[in-house]
């Protein structure tokens, strides 16, 4: 650790500070979440974001080249908690901001103004790798061997991958332990955790139950927690915003739209812009839209129905507790096809409320049908994505319909995970027949495979009658 960074309780009335070598996941004094903060006056921060362009590089073996080849550590001056020699990297964050003109036309945005930030290009196929690079750097520095997380699938895949390729400073292998809800994660993600050698505990319960268990295990079983309550994870995830700005030639967009699950990303994005403004590196901040699935809409309900706000850190926690109390009494649990965001009790709620306040944000929820239709559109016009990621595009459609976003706004949708993470959902969408007002129909953007006899004539007939290839 370099003495420039410290952990700090986010509660304004507490704001207690701790050193970065203190292993903790909540404030010891009041139990609130922690931030990693910096003494910026002692940090070497570039005067302009364009400084980072000089890091566009080819791979190399020395420490600087390895860090520069990472889409996280390339921005190391903006997350200065680690010395160069301590950095863990698997070349994460080499992602792309794709201009999506055809999709823009479909959703009522001016061509040239819609961008998809595709995080599926990360080594384990999701945005989680940005955070794991940061969290493994600190875990290794702390000399921790046993790492653990609760997961809807991507955190576990990413953590297991980093654990399998990282050794402690004493050269020992790490021991990854993942807690997943039995039958709750897609096969692709489960396959990753198994392949990477994680001890995979299929818990009788949902993500929220796993999250509560892994927090107890962290306290009692010497487990280093890799969920996004670990504030170092969010430092890595800030870099998604730096890469978005980079892709836009350092211009700030009007909107960032992100799916909301455990609310780590939205929290990290808010912090990124708070710091960029403080450092004078941007002159304005985009608006934030966090999109829940309607079947897992805790944030949407709390913000839109219960009027919960950050209010400069004075969150009305009694309102949150009574909301969760009602949820329990009514037996209401999260349920959505977008399994990655099937979460009822998001752990980063206070930080997400802070991000919403700072970025003049909105929260919406979208039904599974809209998510799957949006996913098919992203597949047809972009690199594809998994269902949860498409919530951002479904959210954009909703916000356009309601006039919250206008056609001339510049919009960036974050596509959080790779298309192949949940191929079952995709194939099912393209093949299934739905009963719509007593009419059997295919889904709106279905592209069904056609059984075809093995003759050239039959193939020729199929091509002629095809409505897809044109
Ligand atoms: N999209 C994908 C593909 C995810 O895997 C997740 C979260 C989210 C969106 C939501 O992001 O939590 O930052 O609001 N997945 C976690 C997991 C919970 O365990 O893989 P968030």
Each residue of 440-449: pLDDT tens digit? 888 899 999 9
Give the separation between CA 258 and CA 391, rounded to whole angstroms. Answer: 8
Assess whether the C-beta atom of 264 lies below 6 angstroms from ligand 1.
yes
Mutate to test the pocket of ligand 1, among 121, 125, 179, 259 (most ligand atoms within 8 A of CB): 259
Query: Contact, 424 vs 186, CB < 8 A?
Result: yes
What are the residues whose beta carbons fall under 8 Å from the beta carbon of 389, sequence distance 6 or more?
119, 120, 259, 340, 375, 378, 414, 415, 416, 417
Long-range pairs of 143-146 with CB within 8 A, sequence gap ≥ 24:
143/168, 143/169, 143/170, 144/23, 144/168, 144/174, 144/224, 145/172, 145/173, 145/174, 145/175, 146/174, 146/175, 146/177, 146/221, 146/222, 146/223, 146/224
Closest to 381 in 3D by CA, of 195, 50, 103: 103
For residue 403, is it within any domain? yes
CA distances from 151 to 207, 216, 342, 343, 395 (A): 6, 15, 10, 10, 24
In the reported structure, the alpha carbon of residue 390 is separated from the centroid of ligand 1 by a whole-number distance in angstroms of 12
For residue 258, what is the DSSP state?
A: E
- 169 with 200: CB under 8 angstroms? no
Alpha helices in 108-238 (DSSP H): 128-141, 154-164, 187-195, 207-220, 231-237
For residue 290, the ligand 1 atom closest to its alpha carbon is 14
| 201 lies in some domain | no
Yes or no: say if 159 and 198 are a contact pair by the CB < 8 Å rule: yes
Atom of ligand 1 nearest to the CA of 158: 20
What's the rounded Cα separation, in Å, for the pair 41 and 279? 10
Residue 322 lies in a domain: yes
* CA 246 centroid distance within chain: 19
d(CA 450, CA 454): 12
β partners of residue 365: 292
> In this structure, what token pair is assigned to residue 161?
């991958």
CB 378 within 8 A of CB 415: yes
Q: Measured between alpha carbons, how far is 20 from 461 in angstroms, rounded to an integer? A: 67
CATH code where residue 110 lies: 3.40.50.1100
Q: What domain range includes position 320?
A: 97-121+234-427
Distance 440 CA to ligand 1 centre (A): 34
pLDDT of residue 126: 98
> Rounded distance, CA 137 to CA 235, Å?
11
Pairing type for strands 34-38 and 5-9 reads antiparallel
373 lies in some domain: yes
Helical (H) or strand (E) element with 464: helix 456-465
> Alpha helix (H) ranges present in 264-361?
264-278, 298-300, 317-329, 349-358
Residue 259 corresponds to which tokens in the numbers above? 């799916």
Residues of the chain with pLDDT under 70: 1-2, 467-470
Answer whether 98's CB lies under 8 Å from 382's CB. yes
8 located within any domain:
no
Instruction: Report the alpha-carbon distance of residue 163 to residue 246 in Å, rounded.
Output: 30
Q: Does residue 151 lie in a domain region? A: no
Tell me, rounded to whole angstroms, the distance of Cα 292 from its chain centroid: 12
Give the pLDDT confidence of 341-350 residue by residue, as tens digits.
Answer: 999 999 999 9
Ligand 1 atom 15 nearest Cα: 340
Q: Is residue 296 part of a domain?
A: yes
Q: How many domains does the chain have?
A: 1
Instruction: Indicate the pTM of the whole model.
Output: 0.97
Q: What is the pLDDT at residue 57?
A: 73
Whole-number Å distance, alpha carbon 336 to ligand 1 midpoint, is: 13
pLDDT number for residue 469: 43
Question: Ligand 1 within 6 A of 261 CB?
Answer: yes
In this structure, are residues 383 and 120 in contact, taking their beta carbons and an 8 Å threshold? yes
- Ligand 1 atom nearest to CA at 150: 19
Pick from 118, 228, 266, 340 the residue to mutate for probing ligand 1's pocket: most ligand atoms within 8 Å of its CB.
340
Chain centroid offset of residue 115 CA: 17
φ/ψ of 270, rounded to 5, equals: -60, -45
Q: DSSP secondary structure string, 425-447?
A: HHHHHHH-EEEETTEEEE-TT--
């Amino acid at each position: 650790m370099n003495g420039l960074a410290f952990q700090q309780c986010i509660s304004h009335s507490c704001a207690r500070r701790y050193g970065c070598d203190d292993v903790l996941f909540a404030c010891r004094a009041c139990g609130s979440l922690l931030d990693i903060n910096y003494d910026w006056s002692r940090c070497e921060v570039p005067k302009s974001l364009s400084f980072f362009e000089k890091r566009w590089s080819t791979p190399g073996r020395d420490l600087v080249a390895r860090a520069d080849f990472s889409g996280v550590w390339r921005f190391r001056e903006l997350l200065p908690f680690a010395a160069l020699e301590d950095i863990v990297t698997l070349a994460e964050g080499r992602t792309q901001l794709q201009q999506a003109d055809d999709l823009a036309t479909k959703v009522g945005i001016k061509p040239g103004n819609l961008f998809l930030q595709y995080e599926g290009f990360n080594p384990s196929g999701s945005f989680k790798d940005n955070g794991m690079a940061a969290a493994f750097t600190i875990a290794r520095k702390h000399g921790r061997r046993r790492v653990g997380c609760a997961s809807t699938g991507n955190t576990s895949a990413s953590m297991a991958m980093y654990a399998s390729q990282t050794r402690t400073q004493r050269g020992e292998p790490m021991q990854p332990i993942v807690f997943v809800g039995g039958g709750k994660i897609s096969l692709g993600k489960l396959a990753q955790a198994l392949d990477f050698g994680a001890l995979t505990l299929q818990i009788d319960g949902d993500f929220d139950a796993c999250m509560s268990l892994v927090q107890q295990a962290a306290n009692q079983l010497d487990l280093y927690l890799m969920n996004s309550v670990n504030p170092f994870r969010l430092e890595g995830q800030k870099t998604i915003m730096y890469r978005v700005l980079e892709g836009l030639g350092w211009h700030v967009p009007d909107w960032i739209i992100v799916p909301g699950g455990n609310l780590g990303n939205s929290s990290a994005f808010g912090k990124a812009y708070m710091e960029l403004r403080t450092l004078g590196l941007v002159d304005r901040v985009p608006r934030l839209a966090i999109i829940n699935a309607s079947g897992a809409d805790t944030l949407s309900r709390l913000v839109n129905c219960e009027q919960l706000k950050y209010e400069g850190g004075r969150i009305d926690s009694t309102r949150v507790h009574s909301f969760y109390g009602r949820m329990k009494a009514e037996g209401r649990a999260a349920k959505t096809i977008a399994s990655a965001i099937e979460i009822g009790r998001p752990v980063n709620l206070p930080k997400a409320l802070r991000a919403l306040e700072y970025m003049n944000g909105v929260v919406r929820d979208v039904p599974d049908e809209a998510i799957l239709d949006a996913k098919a559109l992203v597949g047809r016009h972009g690199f594809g994505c998994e269902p949860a990621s498409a919530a951002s595009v479904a959210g954009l459609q909703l916000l356009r319909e309601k006039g919250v976003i206008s056609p001339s706004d510049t919009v960036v949708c974050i596509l959080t995970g790779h298309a192949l993470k949940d191929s079952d959902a995709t194939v099912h969408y393209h093949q299934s027949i739905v009963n719509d007002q007593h009419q059997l129909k295919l889904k709106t953007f279905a592209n069904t495979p056609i059984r075809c006899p093995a003759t050239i004539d039959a193939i020729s007939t199929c091509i002629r009658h095809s409505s897809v290839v044109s």
